[in-house]
Structure 1
């Protein structure tokens, strides 16, 4: 890379593990108002000092960057293609590499399927843990809602029995019970929306990198409404599925 001022890190400094680094012009301006960062000491990753030597990439505006000496032990990666049903081993590959350069050694060998599984392993664990916690939260919410609605239906058992006795259909009883159950839920969702919506607008305009979608906003309220409807039907089913006399007697 062309340099504005300073110099590159040489081989001797690399071998001696000297704490030097190159910085871009953007980072240099952030570190010092005049961009003069040569031969000054800064701290990176805790209390490890790195002596600043260079600012690079003239005439090109870029995000703040720094470059330090080091080799990533995970690289270089080579992709090899072999004939079907003829797998290779690290011993065979090292034997072939030794004919080109004895400094090249293969430490790990993965198939494409194994590399894919290794790459996705963290994401898969995150998905399974998130799914398990979501199902646990929904189960606890269902138990709580069922307890509240079941107690409410038991208190209204006689009234529901009277309405069934004078000709109300089970679907009508369920509809009115569901309406009463959803009223506080809709009220709570409305209040939560009025609080969360301005917060979402502020997050989108801030420096926080949080991605949201319409489905992400709609899914929680829909789950709550669906859960309430299912629990309401389960709570009132024992009453509307039997003759009105059972509800009037308070039995069954």
Structure 2
């Protein structure tokens, strides 16, 4: 730590992948999407339970009518039915906590190997989570169990005591229970679309172009400060390491930088042109680099030149900088930046105020992306390692062919030859560094979670369709027998039942599709390369849901067409 810098310490209750660990912006953005979608799954489950309770209410009409006729109070019956709903909610909450515990352990086990600092993370039951789960379970049971309880406790005593439920006309085919299933289908389509869009976005993020070639690029990170070296000792060992690696066979280019594109940490600085007001400042990514860094990454010098050997090694060299094209457009619109000067004004708590001398721009390079979530390259300011020291440096090695494994082993030997006390904190291919990045893990984990929610919603919707159609078949058994006795074919019965289910499915899809498109726009506005109108997802999600609903409708319909007319006519 240098004189004049301020160290700020904050407690962290979570692992944060943000460049500002005290910021809640990242977790808030993820929570803003995950919590409503999780609530949608809960709503689908509640609609399913409400449908089941309404079906049970129809079956128990005679039982409830007898109890009321014998003097049983309505309040007592409602209380009993709500108790049954609470029992279902308690079982569901317990199962949810068990699954949540397993899921948390799985995520912890998968993220720990990717953390930049070795940590031991343990999952422990959280009282707030348990209380919230219990509260949601109780509220859900009361909200969706009360209506069926009130309905069943207000029967038609004469008809229900005669138990005429199966011989009265069918009446409305598209009643409350059908609309509940329609709601499940609409919400399921929305969730499946969200999961598909997020999964497609995660795939794009994994294959995203950072603006440079990381194929054939190796990464070796060293930390001189961790070994106890001062600035002079650290500079000497970095220079020795670069010289040794540049002389290795099979190596094309070598350069070092203070941070890695697509890494977990990025330093930034305020930058203005001399004489400009403070509100005109830009905050680019600030990277200390050596000569050869841009060649190693495959970034051409668009205009100007690279840093010289003197600028790379000498603290007394002239202050120079290389900027990228996005920063040039921001600070020098319609102007030639070469030869112009930049100033990095003081930033309290980050850098000493004395470090405020102008830097001359000597080169311009293409822009690159810092994060996999960046839509466009961010502005970058590159300064020479000679005049700006960093104890931790990342050496980028562009190979000229050969086995990556053998070259990594040879690089480790060369770094050990520099100083066997020099910590090598990172040594792998850039492809592996990118694929195992913590930010990319978060994106993929969110994608898997949303896919899981979508599949759960699909299962619940299919169960809801199957349950309703099975109930309809059982209630219309007598009617089916009459139709068969009057000459209807079994295929006609199956078609009648199947068309009822198809109508529910189509209405649900028609309601859910606009919701899915709106959700896609929300995800596109908040997260990386998510396409708000992905034709593949918006085609496959309705087709899969329609196929599941068709299967759930076909099974009860097949049972209905196999009913014996004699048995059906004997049904009361």
TM-score (norm. length: structure 1): 0.60
CA deviation string 1:184-236 (max 9, x = no partner): 3212322444565588799999x973235433111121122212211112223
Q: In structure 2, the residue corresponding to 1:41 is in which secondary structure?
A: coil
Alignment correspondent of 2:541: 220
- Shift of the alpha carbon at 1:248? 2.5
Matches within 5 A, 1:57-76: 57=363, 64-68=378-382, 73=394, 75-76=396-397
Alignment correspondent of 1:23: 323
CA deviation string 1:21-47 (max 9, x = no partner): 75335324435879887214387xxx7
Alignment correspondent of 1:169: 489
- Residue 452 of structure 2 corresponds to residue 138 of structure 1: no
- Shift of the alpha carbon at 1:95? 9.1
- Shift of the alpha carbon at 1:3? 5.1
- Shift of the alpha carbon at 1:148? 2.1
The alignment covers a number of residue pairs equal to 232
- Residue 560 of structure 2 corresponds to residue 239 of structure 1: yes
CA deviation string 1:43-95 (max 9, x = no partner): 7xxx746968455656x98655304466664743767449xxxx9798x8479
Q: Tell me: CA distance 1:154–1:110, structure 2 relative to 1, closer, same or farther (3 Å).
A: same
Matches within 5 A, 1:123-134: 132-134=452-454
Equivalent of 1:185 in 505, 512, 534: 505
Alignment RMSD: 5.4
- Residue 551 of structure 2 corresponds to residue 230 of structure 1: yes
CA deviation string 1:5-33 (max 9, x = no partner): xx99754569xxxxx97533532443587
Q: Tell me: CA distance 1:29–1:89, structure 2 relative to 1, closer, same or farther (3 Å).
A: closer
Confirm or deny: 8 A CA contact 2:477 2:568 kept in the other structure.
Answer: yes
- Residue 342 of structure 2 corresponds to residue 38 of structure 1: yes
Matches within 5 A, 1:147-166: 147-166=467-486
Rounded Cα–Cα distance in structure 2 between residues aligned with 1:61 and 1:155: 71
Q: In structure 1, the residue corresponding to 2:417 is in which secondary structure?
A: coil
Q: Tell me: CA distance 1:200–1:238, structure 2 relative to 1, closer, same or farther (3 Å).
A: closer
Q: Tell me: CA distance 1:80–1:26, structure 2 relative to 1, closer, same or farther (3 Å).
A: closer
RCO higher in structure (CA 8 A, sep ≥6): 2
Rounded Cα–Cα distance in structure 1 between residues aligned with 2:468 and 2:311: 70
Specify every segment of 5 or more residues in structure 1 that has no aligned partner in the other structure, as ranges. 15-19
Q: Tell me: CA distance 1:66–1:245, structure 2 relative to 1, closer, same or farther (3 Å).
A: same
Confirm or deny: 8 A CA contact 2:304 2:363 kept in the other structure.
Answer: yes
Alignment correspondent of 2:570: 249
TM-score (norm. length: structure 2): 0.31
Alignment correspondent of 2:26: none
Q: In structure 2, the residue corresponding to 1:23 is in which secondary structure?
A: strand
- Shift of the alpha carbon at 1:160? 1.8
Confirm or deny: 8 A CA contact 1:185 1:225 kept in the other structure.
Answer: yes
Alignment correspondent of 1:17: none
